[in-house]
Amino acid sequence: MIEGKPLRTVRSFVRREGRLTPGQQRAIDELWPQFAIDEADSMIDLNQLFGRDAPKVLEIGFGNGATLAQMAAEQPEQDFLGVEVHRPGVGQLLKAIEQQGLTNLRVACTDAVELLNNRLADNALDRVQLYFPDPWHKKRHHKRRIIQPTFVDILAAKIKPGGHLHMATDWQHYAEQMLEELSNSDEFINCADSSGYIPRPDYRPLTKFEQRGHKLGHGVWDLLFKRR
């Protein structure tokens, strides 16, 4: 407490509402009931949500959703749940779901930590994807990075034994921190060679900014860990 005010919980993201385009607003208004998940206290039965028993993949922070929609289209045998706090991105992904006729993709506009802690059962996920999370590059902000020991423990509880955690970043320092945090966990095994990192898997599409980064000589680090 400071001067009678409760301390705010440190979050790993900043909610950026942005300006919704008319198309994004229409997608949210019309498609939310069918493809999005309302905030609630109840547990989510993922098989019931998708209407089938199939591998379940959670992507945290999908941005505008273009690569996630592409993954869902290219991997129809898997079900994808994307969580994002940026509403224009949510609207854009809902548009893609409609345009591409995707039936194996659902969207949540909420805090990923709260979703994992309160709404998903243990061992519910076959893979968690965390691609290019906010690096919080200033040293004093490193504590805001989502990959921290407590979050790794949460992921370990929600990913099935034999399931995977796949991360990617274009910040070398963050890649090194991710590698250290996951290597220190007794719940995960690194799937890479002695370098600690893997080549980009075929199932992860290149993003537009990643393609631009490659042309400028910027590095990208992929990390893949298996749940024991």
Interacting residues of 127 by C-beta distance below 8 A, sequence separation 6+: 55, 56, 57, 58, 159, 163, 164, 165, 166
Q: What's the pLDDT band for 7 if we cut at 50, 70, 90?
A: very low
Q: What is the per-residue pLDDT for 17?
A: 61
The rounded distance, in Å, linking the Cα atoms of 223 and 179 is 7
What is the four-CA torsion angle of 92, 43, 72, 56, rounded to 10 degrees?
160
| β-sheet bridge partners, residue 82 | 59, 107
Q: What does the alpha-carbon distance between residue 226 and residue 154 come to, in Å, rounded to a whole number?
A: 14
pLDDT of residue 1: 43
Q: What is the pLDDT of residues 128-161, one digit of tens each?
A: 999 999 998 898 989 999 999 999 999 999 999 9
Tell me, what's the pLDDT at 18?
A: 73
State pLDDT tens for residues 159-173.
999 999 999 999 999
For the cut 60, the answer to whether the pLDDT of residue 207 exceeds it is: yes
Provide the 3-class DSSP secondary structure of residue 59.
strand
For 56, list phi and psi in degrees, rounded to 5.
-115, 130
Q: Which CATH superfamily is domain 23-35+45-227 in?
A: Vaccinia Virus protein VP39 (3.40.50.150)
Please report which helix (H) or strand (E) contains residue 30, including its range: helix 22-35
Query: How far apart, in whole angstroms, are the C-alpha atoms of residue 74 and residue 208?
Result: 18
User: What is the percent of the chain where pLDDT is above 70?
Assistant: 93
Q: Which residue among the candidates 41, 53, 134, 170 is catalytic per the annotation?
A: 134
pLDDT of residue 21: 96
pLDDT band at 16 (very low <50, low <70, confident <90, very high): low
| H/E element, 174 | helix 172-183
User: Phi-psi bin for 86: left (phi > 0), alpha (psi -120 to 50), beta?
Assistant: beta
Among this protein's residues, is 170 annotated catalytic? no
- What totals of helices (H) and strands (E) does the chain contain, helices first? 8, 8
* Ramachandran area for residue 168 (φ above 0: left; ψ -120 to 50: alpha; else beta): beta
